[in-house]
Amino acid sequence: MIFKDFNVIFTDRIEKMSIQVMEGKIVSMNPDFSDDDEIIEGNGRYLSPGYVDIHIHGAGNHDTMEGTFEALETISNTIAKHGTTSFLPTTMTVSVEEIRKAVEAIKEAKGKVTGATIAGIHLEGPFISEHAIGAQNPNYVIRPSKESFLDMVGEHIDLIKNITMAPEVEGALALAPYLRQHGVNVSMGHTVANYEQALDGIHHGFNHSTHLFNAMSPFTHRTPGVVGAIFDTDVTTETISDGIHVSYPSLRTAYKVKGSDKTLLITDAMMACGMPDGTYSLGGQKVISKEGAARLESGALAGSILTMDKAVQNVYKNTALPLYEVIKMASYNGAKFSRIDNVKGKIALNYDADLLILSEDLEVQHVFIEGRKFL
Write the DSSP string, 189-231.
-SB---HHHHHHHHHTT--EESSTTTTBPPP-SS--HHHHHHH
> Was 190 annotated as part of a binding site?
yes
Note the Cα 43 to chain centre separation in Å: 31
3-state helix, strand, coil in the chain (%, to 5): 30, 30, 45
Dist CA 205 CA 174 (whole Å): 10
> Residue 284: what pLDDT?
84
Query: How large a percentage of the chain has pLDDT more than 90?
Result: 97
Residue 89 Cα distances to 109, 133, 287, angstroms: 11, 20, 19
Q: What is the pLDDT of residue 167?
A: 98
pLDDT, tens digit (0-9, with 9 covering 90-100), for 206-257: 999 999 999 999 999 999 999 999 999 999 999 999 999 999 999 999 999 9
pLDDT digits (tens, 9 = 90+) for 267-316: 999 999 999 999 999 988 899 999 999 999 999 999 999 999 999 999 99
50-344 CATH fold: TIM Barrel (3.20.20)
CB 365 within 8 A of CB 357: yes
Say if residue 222 carries a ligand binding annotation. Answer: yes
Q: 0.95 cut: is pTM over it? A: yes
Give the span between the Cα atoms of 338 and 184, in whole angstroms.
9
Q: Could you read off the pLDDT of 303-350 as tens digits, one per residue?
A: 999 999 999 999 999 999 999 999 999 999 999 999 999 999 999 999
pLDDT at residue 83 in the model: 98
38 is in an annotated binding site: no
Residues 74-133 have pLDDT tens digits of 999 999 999 999 999 999 999 999 999 999 999 999 999 999 999 999 999 999 999 999
Q: Is 124 annotated as a binding residue?
A: yes
166 annotated to bind ligand: no
Q: How far is CA 59 from CA 8, 34, 72, 82, 327, in A?
A: 29, 42, 9, 11, 22
Task: Check 5, 63, 242, 268 and give the catalytic one.
Answer: 268
Q: How many CA atoms lie within 13 A of 78 on its CB side?
A: 24
Instruction: Tell me, yes or no, if 35 is annotated catalytic.
Output: no
- Specify the pLDDT at position 228: 98
Average pLDDT over residues 148-155: 97
301 is in an annotated binding site: yes
CB-CB contact of 175 with 169 (8 Å): no
Per-residue model confidence (pLDDT) at position 107: 98
Give per-residue pLDDT as tens, 178-206: 999 999 999 999 999 999 999 999 999 99
Domain locations in the chain as residue ranges: 2-47+358-373, 50-344
**Whole-number Å distance between alpha carbons of 267 and 311:** 7
pLDDT at position 19 is 97
Residue 258 has a pLDDT of 98
pLDDT digits (tens, 9 = 90+) for 4-26: 999 999 999 999 999 999 999 99
| Annotated binding-site residue? 82 | no
**Could you tell me which CATH number the domain at 2-47+358-373 has?**
2.30.40
Intra-chain end-to-end CA distance of the chain, in Å? 16
